[in-house]
Amino acid sequence: MSEKRRDNKNRILRTGESQRADGKYMYRYVDANGKTQSLYSWKLVRTDIVPEGKKDNGALRDLEKRVRRDLDDEIVPYGDGYTVLELVKKYVSQKTGVKNTTKAGYGTVINWLTSDSFGSKRIDKVKLSDAKIWLIKLQQENHKSYSTIHTIRGVVRPAFRMAVEDNILRKNPFDFELATVLVNDSVTREAITRKEERTFLEFIKNDKHYSQYYDAMYILFKTGMRISEFTGLTISDLDMKNRTININHQLQKTGTLVYIETNKTEAGKRVIPMTDGVYEAFKHMLEVRPRLKVEPMIDGYSGFLSFDKDGKPRIAMHWEKYFKHAVDKYNSTYRVQLPEITPHVCRHTYCSNMAKSGMNPKVLQYLMGHSDISVTLNTYTHLKLDDAKDELEKLSRVWEAEKEIARTENKSDLHSVDNRKHA
């Protein structure tokens, strides 16, 4: 029987373990790919003391446990050699059939990782703390906004999730809530008040220059349509007889490319009714719509409602500019200032107004084209103290009315009893 190998402290060494002349321990094993690998440490067990000036990378037997567990679970060693950038590229290559805007977002993330040192980091070396520190650095040193970092994490996290599912990694280091790490500096789009809406629309209606945009701005405030849905509308989408709007596509722009994108979700595809005011606004838009020699066509769609000076359909960017310039003109004229107003503010204002009016949330969800009711219900979180007071006052009036009815009914019952006594 051969004598078992021991270290310089006379401890028995296991199969694969050895100790070098300088005192450093080594463990050799064969990985899942059939290659011989080695682990090194100055400590055999946790209680050992690391020599002065040497790095403590954990006890050898703790490292062995992780290796054996990975081998048992068939986890590919060393993250299969992937860097963060390579992993993200692999993930993105599998995302076919996505929107052009989404493709552009993927490109932005890849470009950033190409220039950032984190992109060259091997994925099995990325710990939870590393992921958090990187995102903090993006915000504090690179001055990336919370929303931008949210977008970046929105690509990197599922890429790491793919690596876990492929048994390349055991854990996803990006599985944490972003708000627990970063300061959310996003500017919340607030709905404007009914008075501000009336003031703005009245100004637009009577302004010599901006009155040409009144119908469109009125429609945006009174339908809650996404600006890309509005710009994508064609004559055939308007049923003026039945007073309905058929929404099933959007006009988008990515880079220099202007294109039609069909609504991805069934919720986005909807037919909404026109109020009398919206009907009149659309009617006027059709009446003043320019007669073009050649109707511009985009991806098979023609008959758009509004055009720029070059005869091309107006896109979201045009309307964002018109709203901004109109607000600037108003604020340079009047002492009481208007807040920022954008097409999305119009949509948010419509949703808030309908919520305040007591509209059934499911009906509001349909009108807004929300696929998830929680998105609609979140509108209620933007309601303020005055809204709460109004609701309580309404309830108080209802309660008082119920009490009065109850008192009247009691009096009536007592009167009936008295009449029976005297009969």
pLDDT digits (tens, 9 = 90+) for 329-375: 999 999 999 999 999 999 999 998 998 888 888 999 999 998 888 77
> What is residue 379's predicted lDDT score, i.e. its pLDDT?
62
pLDDT digits (tens, 9 = 90+) for 73-118: 667 777 788 999 999 999 999 988 787 888 888 999 999 999 999 9
* Residue 169: pLDDT over 70: yes
pLDDT digits (tens, 9 = 90+) for 35-71: 888 889 999 999 999 999 999 989 999 988 888 887 7
Decide: residue 159, CB within 10 A, 0-12 exposed, 13-18 middle, 19+ buried: buried
* Residue 186: pLDDT over 80: no
> What is residue 69's predicted lDDT score, i.e. its pLDDT?
81
Look up 293 and say whether it is catalytic: no
Mean pLDDT across the chain: 88
> What is residue 414's predicted lDDT score, i.e. its pLDDT?
59
Domains of the chain: 17-74 (3.30.160.60), 80-180 (1.10.150.130), 194-381 (1.10.443.10)
> What are the CA-CA distances from residue 89 to residues 93, 108, 173, 294 (Å)?
6, 12, 18, 43
> What is residue 255's predicted lDDT score, i.e. its pLDDT?
80
> What is residue 70's predicted lDDT score, i.e. its pLDDT?
77
* Residue 1: pLDDT over 60: no
> What is residue 360's predicted lDDT score, i.e. its pLDDT?
87
Among candidate residues 144, 314, 318, 347, the one labeled active-site is 347
* Residue 189: pLDDT over 70: no
Among candidate residues 11, 344, 356, 382, the one labeled active-site is 344
> What is residue 68's predicted lDDT score, i.e. its pLDDT?
83
Look up 344 and say whether it is catalytic: yes
> What is residue 114's predicted lDDT score, i.e. its pLDDT?
95
DSSP β-bridge partners for residue 145: none
Look up 324 and say whether it is catalytic: no
Please enumerate, as own/partner, the contacts of 143-149 that have beta carbons within 8 Å and a separation of 24 or more: 145/185, 145/186, 146/178, 146/182, 146/183, 146/184, 146/185, 146/186, 147/186, 149/178, 149/182
When mean pLDDT is compared across 4-13, 198-207, 229-238, 378-387, the lowest value belongs to 378-387
Residue, of 3 and 355, whose pLDDT is higher? 355
Among candidate residues 226, 249, 314, 348, the one labeled active-site is 226
Look up 347 and say whether it is catalytic: yes
Task: Please say whether the beta carbons of 305 and 251 come within 8 A.
Answer: no
Output the CA angle 268-359-404, nearest 5 degrees: 170
Look up 27 and say whether it is catalytic: no
Mean pLDDT across 144-149: 88
pLDDT digits (tens, 9 = 90+) for 154-167: 999 999 999 999 88
pLDDT digits (tens, 9 = 90+) for 363-421: 999 999 988 887 777 665 455 556 656 666 766 777 788 777 777 777 666 566 555 55
When mean pLDDT is compared across 60-64, 207-211, 300-304, the lowest value belongs to 60-64
Q: pLDDT grade, residue 188 (50/70/90)? A: low
* Residue 266: pLDDT over 70: yes
DSSP β-bridge partners for residue 52: none
> What is residue 380's predicted lDDT score, i.e. its pLDDT?
52
Q: pLDDT grade, residue 195 (50/70/90)? A: very high
Instruction: Round to whole Å and give the CA distance between 233 and 238.
Output: 8
> What is residue 386's predicted lDDT score, i.e. its pLDDT?
62
Among candidate residues 28, 209, 264, 283, the one labeled active-site is 264
* Residue 423: pLDDT over 80: no
Look up the pTM and report it.
Answer: 0.63
Task: Please say whether the beta carbons of 44 and 56 come within 8 A.
Answer: no
Instruction: Round to whole Å and give the CA distance between 280 and 62.
Output: 75
Instruction: Round to whole Å and give the CA distance between 152 and 9.
Output: 51
